[in-house]
Amino acid sequence: MNLRLFLFSTATMVLAAEAPGAGAVLGVDTAYMNRTAAPCADFYAFANGSYDKVAIPGAYAAYGVNQEIDDRNWAILRGILESSAKAANPPKGSVLQRIGDFYASGMDEAAIEKAGVTPLSDAMNRINAMKGPAGIAPMLAWLHSRGVAGGFTFLIAADDKDSSTEIAQINQTRLGLPERDYYFRTDDASKLLREKYLLHIARIFELAGDDPVSAKTAANRVLALERRLAEASRRLVDLRDPIANYHKVKRLELSGLAKEFNWPVYFAGIALPDSQKDLLVGQPDFLKAFAKLTRESSLNDWKAYLRWNLLNGTASELNQAFEEQDFAFYGATLSGRKEMLPRWKRVLQATDTAIGEDLGQLYVKRAFSPSAKARAMEMVEFHKEAMRLSIQNSPWMSEETKKSAYKKLGTMGAKVGYPDTWRDYSKLKIRRQPYVLNVLAARAFEFKRRMAKLGKPVDRAEWGMTPQTNNAYYNPSLNEMAFPAGILQPPFFDEKADDAVNYGALASTIGHELTHGFDDQGRQYDEQGNLKDWWAPSDVSAFKERADLVVKQYDAYEVLPGLHINGSQSLGENIADVGGLKISYVAYKLASKNKPLKTVEGLTPDQRFFVAFAQGWRTNVRPESLRLQVTSDVHCPIRFRVLGPVADLPEFFESFGCKDDGKRSDAATKSVW
């Protein structure tokens, strides 16, 4: 996945006067450049150096090109939402009624304040009424079916080894802190962060009605139980191995694997069909530890933990005190943000999550033309041809493996803009009720929608992102890329721009996602999306040799004093960044063959390609957010998503006449793609 936004907040309200070139939406804007910087020494500074002085607004962990695109997208969406909320008597069950009522309920601050935590009373009473360990299974089922996390993660998705089949899957749970190692680091900063987290939990409990002493006791229970769950959890780098995280088990075998937990009761609670005999368990050791904890930890520990998950998962939809406390820890402490986004943006985000394709139907009519879609699809085809040439010219790959790679490339799907068939939300009842109840209703609807997939063929037409999303993805199980209309916007893409600019700016999108199909994870899936070894052993060794050079390259990058990128943790994204730039460069050459391309403002066409690529990442980031990303994300910080790829591409050095090879990476001579 591209995840240009990763941990960042979206959109921006910075005044145009504060940003150089803010009045124009150009793929290459020389106002952002610092031509006194040496491109061969620090290309990010050369392409974006004048942008460094742009202040980060208080509501953001980072500010840059993505937030500018989001601001334009969100202006369209805000207009749609506000007009829908004001519509007079829209037909019940219509798109207009759903998005209007959802948005209106989120914007009704007076009603939200009045309701407080009362809308959660039923759930809180159910948790408090648990009588013993036997109550944990039905309670988790009740919460999971309403989109509340806890204990372990249950989901429905394509079987990695049978991509035509949907299967129930169980994985380790999401934790309250960003990643499992946050619970165990012994440096002073980490200890202080855990203290702040403990205070945050206690404050949330107080807002829910606990007295200070009870709240502190409950918070300690939560942290202790989460620490035990974290002990059994795998690190990010270990979760990246699809083979190690694939374990198909018989449904009846779960009672032996994790015997302390009542699986039949849980499955009855979520209405898992009896016909589903097999499940995938991602991390068996975690599941064993979780089951033991349902007996070893006290009932009061579990009550506190489940109440916390309920409150933590809905705090942003409750009254102002909950929202502010949630922001104080997750927004300010972890990411360095100074203030919350305006309410309309927060509610817009929630609407997009809940009923995004309802909203998307109205968005694409205003923001993505048929001609734009046609040009984007043409660009995808040139990228696929570029990858075919890369495979063909790979000296380290055997003919046998190349044939399989061609087959995978030939069947790789590409979704552009928006779905051909829109999602049906007609069974989702949204009305002008307490905001949090609409959010939970949407989560419950989504859970049931996914459960209904069991026993049916995988729907390859379905999208994993909404059309208005400023992002993109590659799905290995479907062997497909998707590029929503929301990311195919200036400066990333302009149907009227020339090839040098468009292909450069979209190197981090089309080239990136295409390369994910052949990165260290994606390469393990065949042309049908099945987890299957289709490589000759010698080719696997050659691939790993080259991938190790990428790990070494990124390990050496120091983000903050003493804080280095984890090259193994971010390997897949780094391969996609490096390979994506290379593939996009070849695609640009194929597309522009026999076309007149001009030197503009002293930049040759090839130089404009690379500047457009770098300016597609221009972003200023708070140090707190940088630290959070390095320690809990598979993407490396933005500056290195520019510096890493250009260091591996000889064509970059040639285009800028770089004589000193000091900035070239070892991976440049032994590239993966």
Domain-ending residue, one of 317, 334, 365: 317
Judgement on whether residues 248 and 363 belong to the same structural domain of the protein: no
Residue at 522 is within a domain: yes
Residue at 123 is within a domain: no
Q: Provide the pLDDT for residue 662.
A: 55
DSSP 599: -
Residue at 553 is within a domain: yes
C-beta neighbour count of 186 within 10 angstroms: 6
Asked if 581 and 645 touch (Cβ cutoff 8 Å), the reply is yes
Q: How far apart are CA 563 and CA 550, in angstroms?
A: 18
Residue at 334 is within a domain: no
The domain that holds 263 is classified in CATH as 1.10.1380.10
Q: How far apart are CA 359 and CA 98, in angstroms?
A: 9
The domain that holds 490 is classified in CATH as 3.40.390.10
Q: How far apart are CA 608 and CA 595, in angstroms?
A: 15
Alpha helices in 272-336 (DSSP H): 284-296, 299-314, 320-326
Judgement on whether residues 387 and 310 belong to the same structural domain of the protein: no
> Bridge-partner residues for 525, per DSSP?
531
Q: How far apart are CA 625 and CA 336, in angstroms?
A: 6
DSSP 60: -
Q: Say whether the peptide bond before residue 119 is cis (omega within 30 degrees of 0).
A: no
Judgement on whether residues 357 and 419 belong to the same structural domain of the protein: yes
> Bridge-partner residues for 603, per DSSP?
600
Judgement on whether residues 399 and 545 belong to the same structural domain of the protein: yes
The contacts found for 47-54 with CB under 8 angstroms, 24 or more apart, are 47/610, 47/611, 47/614, 47/615, 47/618, 47/642, 48/614, 48/615, 48/617, 48/618, 50/20, 51/19, 51/20, 51/618, 51/620, 52/620, 54/14, 54/18, 54/19, 54/20, 54/620
Residue at 328 is within a domain: no
Residue at 311 is within a domain: yes
Helix 343-367 crosses helix 65-86 at what angle (to 10 degrees)? 90
Asked if 172 and 286 touch (Cβ cutoff 8 Å), the reply is yes
**Boundaries of domain holding 195:** 134-317
Overall domain count for the chain: 2
Beta strands in 82-173 (DSSP E): 152-159, 162-172
Helix 343-367 crosses helix 95-107 at what angle (to 10 degrees)? 160
Judgement on whether residues 239 and 298 belong to the same structural domain of the protein: yes
C-beta neighbour count of 484 within 10 angstroms: 27
C-beta neighbour count of 493 within 10 angstroms: 25
Judgement on whether residues 28 and 177 belong to the same structural domain of the protein: no
pLDDT tens readout for residues 131-161: 999 999 999 999 999 999 999 999 999 999 9
C-beta neighbour count of 168 within 10 angstroms: 23
- DSSP 3-state of 61: coil
Judgement on whether residues 455 and 524 belong to the same structural domain of the protein: yes
Asked if 5 and 66 touch (Cβ cutoff 8 Å), the reply is yes
Judgement on whether residues 572 and 663 belong to the same structural domain of the protein: yes
CA-angle at 563, arms to 558 and 566, nearest 5°: 80
Judgement on whether residues 468 and 388 belong to the same structural domain of the protein: yes
Q: What is the mean pLDDT of each run of 10 residues along the chain (673 residues)?
A: 34 31 74 96 97 95 96 97 96 96 98 97 97 96 97 97 97 97 96 98 98 98 98 96 97 95 98 96 98 97 98 98 98 96 98 97 94 96 98 96 98 97 96 97 98 95 97 97 97 94 96 97 97 96 96 97 96 97 98 92 97 97 96 96 96 91 68 82
Judgement on whether residues 290 and 358 belong to the same structural domain of the protein: no
Nearest to 386 by CA among 527, 650, 582: 582
pLDDT tens readout for residues 13-48: 222 223 334 456 889 999 999 999 999 999 999 999
Q: Provide the pLDDT for residue 660.
A: 67
Beta strands 162-172 and 278-281, pairing class: parallel
The amino acid that residue 629 corresponds to is Q
Residue at 329 is within a domain: no
pTM metric for this prediction: 0.93
- DSSP 3-state of 153: strand
Helix 571-591 crosses helix 605-615 at what angle (to 10 degrees)? 150
Half-sphere exposure for 511 (CA within 13 Å, toward CB): 27
Judgement on whether residues 293 and 356 belong to the same structural domain of the protein: no
Residue at 1 is within a domain: no
Domain-ending residue, one of 267, 297, 317: 317
546: CB partners within 8 A, 6+ apart: 396, 667, 670, 671, 672
Q: How far apart are CA 324 and CA 568, in angstroms?
A: 36
* Three-state secondary structure readout of 324-371: HHHHHHHHHHCCCCCCCCCHHHHHHHHHHHHHHHHHHHHHHHHHCCHH
Q: How far apart are CA 247 and CA 530, in angstroms?
A: 14
Q: How far apart are CA 20 and CA 31, in angstroms?
A: 6
C-beta neighbour count of 15 within 10 angstroms: 9
Judgement on whether residues 423 and 550 belong to the same structural domain of the protein: yes
123: CB partners within 8 A, 6+ apart: 142, 143, 146, 148, 310
Domain-ending residue, one of 271, 302, 317: 317
- DSSP 3-state of 148: coil
Helix 638-647 crosses helix 571-591 at what angle (to 10 degrees)? 60
**Would you state the structure tokens that stand for residue 30, as one six-digit string?**
């020389």
